[in-house]
Chain A
Amino acid sequence: NAGVTQTPKFQVLKTGQSMTLQCAQDMNHEYMSWYRQDPGMGLRLIHYSVGAGITDQGEVPNGYNVSRSTTEDFPLRLLSAAPSQTSVYFCASNQDGLLMGGYTFGSGTRLTVV
């Protein structure tokens, strides 16, 4: 099993550009989430999904869109990148939301917006 796979690992964007951060899991997990990690801020929840076709906003959703058309994939879209979106992004998945054993995280995407 590959677990949670995030692509790309590194990305540099210019202000105003758009891009999609990919996240895929092969564990048939229902719950998936996107977090960003910033110095001194810990991990902050951007969007999450409790199953295919269902998404909801987290703590810091502005500037990001998500969709969940399949159980496996949960892409994060930046519509118009801003320097404030420079961060490390983590995708995570979990079997049933009861968090037994916790979420499994990907290795992250380091995004720089110039």
Chain B
Amino acid sequence: DQQVKQNSPSLSVQEGRISILNCDYTNSMFDYFLWYKKYPAEGPTFLISISSIKDKNEDGRFTVFLNKSAKHLSLHIVPSQPGDSAVYFCAASGDGSSNTGKLIFGQGTTLQVKP
């Protein structure tokens, strides 16, 4: 049972335009969400996070939106740059009763930004 889902395996956008990566989750107990970026042959690197008490968090060109009622989050990259081309994973954590530090990841979306 996939608790965190990224239904788009790939996304291609033009340089300078907006990239929107989507993620859905099923466990309403999740209370913390993160996005990671991964280049080939490297480990994932943390990008941005959001707590369930917020609906938006910004960090430079990256903004994460959380819609708890829809159990949906999205990552917006504006403007997109060729160096943003990577695999993006969303992840969720929290079981509502204790902080176990467990992260559940989605399948990933490969973003290609064309010059």
Select one of B47, B103, B106 contacting A99, CB under 8 A. B103
- For chain B, the count of residues having a C-beta within 8 Å of the partner chain is 27
Q: Is the CB of A42 within 8 A of B46?
A: no
Q: Is the CB of B93 within 8 A of A99?
A: yes
Closest to B45 in A: A105
- For chain A, the count of residues having a C-beta within 8 Å of the partner chain is 30
Q: Is the CB of B43 within 8 A of A102?
A: no
Q: Is the CB of B32 within 8 A of A99?
A: yes
Complex: how many Å from CA A59 to CA B77? 30
By a CB distance below 8 angstroms, the chain A residues around B49 are 99-102
List B35-70 residues whose CB lies under 8 Å from chain A.
Answer: 36, 41-47, 49
Q: Is the CB of A103 within 8 A of B106?
A: no
- Is B25 on the interface with A (CB-CB < 8 A)? no
